[in-house]
Structures are given as structure tokens and as C-alpha cells.
Amino acid sequence: MSDPAGPAAAPVTAPPLPPLCKNCGASLGGAYCSACGQEARIETPTVGEFVREFVQDQMALEGKLLRTLKLLITRPGELTLDYISGRRQCYIRPLRLYLALSVVYFAVSGLVSHPDLFRPSSGNEDKPIFNMKHEDAGQGDAKPAAAAADKAAAPTRPDEGQLPDAVRNFKTGSVVLDARIQKFLSQTQRQAGNQLSRAVVNDAPVAMFFLLPLFAGLLQLAYLRHHLRYGVHLLFSLHYHAFVFLDLLLREIPWPSLVDALLNLAIPAYLVLALLRVYGGRWWSTGLGVAALLMTYSVLIGITLSIAAVLSVLAGG
């Protein structure tokens, strides 16, 4: 007689748990983790795998670099539009592109040429900035007598040890600063020009990096009616300055005069084309705006680098 309860039910087994990513712990459902992108299959690497991974990474990086530079040069402003629209993976990131080209340019510029930005007039290279000897000779013996009279007429001051620390530190700092200024003024015009030129060249990379937001701010003022976010202008500024450093890098090569002239014109022409592609507008109004923008920006660059040079002198650089 058959069992009324029927045949024994098969035991129910729980489905196997999906494998977990060894990097972030997320569930794996393919060859790569959907959370962090790491490979699902992790094994002890061999020398061949190291070589293959290096070659793949280099080819991917070089492919991105060539693709980015090609679009940067041939279609001004297109990189900015692609980034805004979301096409980003096939190009180098804007900040990385800017930093790479600026570092290469300043490195090559420092090795190839040493610009003499503060060149004295011909015949005055070996003359001091200020010649104090004539003034001292004209006073004769009157200078010691005047100093003695001033010392006698001066009121009695407390001992240095009785002064507050802040006062003594201020006096010490003033003496050091005065000594640095006198040291700079005692140089010849050639030496002073070389010192200021070195200060400008050394501080130019940092100054240009901090001028990027200022350039983006000028763009925001120029295109205020577009109601765009500041990040769009900063993105455009990164791509434009990347092209500028690429152009300056090419100008380090001793080209014929015609090529040099074209490279000089490339920067304003590129800015006009890039602005037209990204912001729109008319040729004549964009051209006038670029002239005003570059003039204002050049003045700001000059002021910034001059301040950097003065600070370098005061710091004893």
C-alpha cells in the first residue's frame, strides 16, 4: 500500500551566495566589480602579467593623450563641450592636462632659456642701482658731527632688555628687512635684473595656477547674460591655458620667423574660436572681447609677477 503522504520531499538547499569583491566587499556579477571596477578574478601576478598590465596602461594613457591633444589643437573649445555633455572617459581630465603641459613647459623653459626680463640699458649693466658714495663724500666731516648732535639730543631710551618682546621682535625684523633692501640696492643693475628675473621664473608656475580662477572670473563677467555656472568658465580656462602652454612649448623650438609669428598669433586666434564654439556670439564682438580680456589679463599677470619678485627680494631670495 502506498504511503498517503507521497514520496519524501527533496531537501531544499539555499542558493549559493554570489562571490564578493576582495577590494570593497560588494557582490560580483561579472568580470569586474560594479562598485569599484576591480577585476573579479584575483590571482598572484606573474612577470608576464606585470608586463602586459604596464603595456595596456601605457597604450591607454598614450591613446587618451593623443586623442586629447588632437581635439585640443584642431577643434578649439570642443574638449570643453564634450566634458560638459558627459563624454569624458576617452580624454585626459582637464586639470591633469593643464598640470602636465605646464610642468613640461616650465621644465623645458628652465633648461633651454633663461629670460632676462629686467634687462638694464646698454652701458649701465655694471653700474650700481644707487650710488651712495657721492652723497657721503659731499657731506665731508659734517656727517659725524650731525650724528653726534642727534645722539646727544635724543631722549634717553630704556634698555633693550626692558622692551616688550613684540617691540624687540619688530625692531629685529625691521633691521633684517632693511639689510635685505640695502643688499639688493647695492648690487649692479645686471645683478639686480638677474635676481628679479629668477624670482619671476621661479614663481611663474604657482602664479599662473592661482591666476586660473581669476581668468574664469573674467569670463563669467564677460558672459554674465548666459547664466552659466562658474565651473563651466573654470573648465574652459583649464583647456585654454593647456593650449597656451602647448603653444609656448612649441615656441621654445628655434623655428623660422614665419612659424614664430604664426605661433604668436595662435593664442588670441585660438581663444576667439574656442569662445565662439562654447559660448556662441558674433565674430566682431568676440574679437573685441578677446582683445579687452587679454589686455586685462596681461596687466594682472604683470602685477602678480612683479609682486612675487618684490616679495622674493624682501625674503632675501
Q: In whole angstroms, give the CA distance from residue 250 to residue 299.
A: 24
The CA–CA distances, whole Å, from 32 to 35, 58, 123, 257, 291 equal 9, 21, 71, 54, 51
CB 91 within 8 A of CB 70: no
In which band, very low, low, confident or very high, does the pLDDT at 48 lie, cut at 50, 70 and 90?
confident
| Grid coordinates belonging to 98 | 593643464
- Least confident range from 46-60, 108-122, 156-170: namely 156-170
Identity (one letter) of the amino acid at 81? L
CB 180 within 8 A of CB 314: yes
| Mean pLDDT computed over 112-120 | 59
Q: In whole angstroms, give the CA distance from residue 5 to residue 17.
A: 33
Q: Which residue has the cell 572670473?
A: 217
pLDDT of residue 144: 53
Q: In whole angstroms, give the CA distance from residue 162 to residue 157.
A: 10
DSSP string over 81-100: HHHHHT--TTS--HHHHHHH
Q: In whole angstroms, give the CA distance from residue 238 to residue 68.
A: 13
pLDDT of residue 111: 77
CA angle 102, 107, 109 (to 5 degrees): 95
Q: Could you tell me which of 244, 228, 241 has the C-alpha nearest to residue 278?
A: 228
CB 233 within 8 A of CB 217: yes
Q: In whole angstroms, give the CA distance from residue 32 to residue 74.
A: 36
Partners of 27 in the beta sheet?
20
Q: Which residue has the cell 666731516?
A: 141
| Grid coordinates belonging to 297 | 589679463
- Least confident range from 20-29, 66-75, 96-105, 216-225: namely 20-29
Proportion of the chain above pLDDT 90, given as a percent: 33
Q: In whole angstroms, give the CA distance from residue 235 to residue 176.
A: 44
Best-predicted range by mean pLDDT (69-78, 248-257, 295-304):
69-78
pLDDT of residue 36: 84
In which band, very low, low, confident or very high, does the pLDDT at 126 lie, cut at 50, 70 and 90?
low
pTM comes to 0.66
pLDDT of residue 135: 45
pLDDT of residue 175: 55
Q: Residue 309 pLDDT more than 70?
A: yes
Type and span of the H or E element at 252 = none
Q: Which residue has the cell 628679479?
A: 196
Identity (one letter) of the amino acid at 38? Q
pLDDT of residue 41: 77
Q: Cβ atoms within 10 A of the Cβ of 220, count?
A: 16
Q: In whole angstroms, give the CA distance from residue 285 to residue 63.
A: 37
Quick one: 96 exposed, middle or buried, by C-beta within 10 A (0-12, 13-18, 19+)? Answer: middle
In which band, very low, low, confident or very high, does the pLDDT at 67 lie, cut at 50, 70 and 90?
very high
- When comparing pLDDT for 88 and 41, which is higher? 88
pLDDT averaged over every residue in the chain: 76
Proportion of the chain above pLDDT 70, given as a percent: 59
Coil/strand/helix, residue 20: strand
pLDDT tens, residue by residue, 161-208: 554 555 445 445 555 556 666 666 666 666 666 666 666 666 677 788
**Which DSSP symbol is given to 36?**
T
In which band, very low, low, confident or very high, does the pLDDT at 294 lie, cut at 50, 70 and 90?
very high
| Grid coordinates belonging to 255 | 623655428
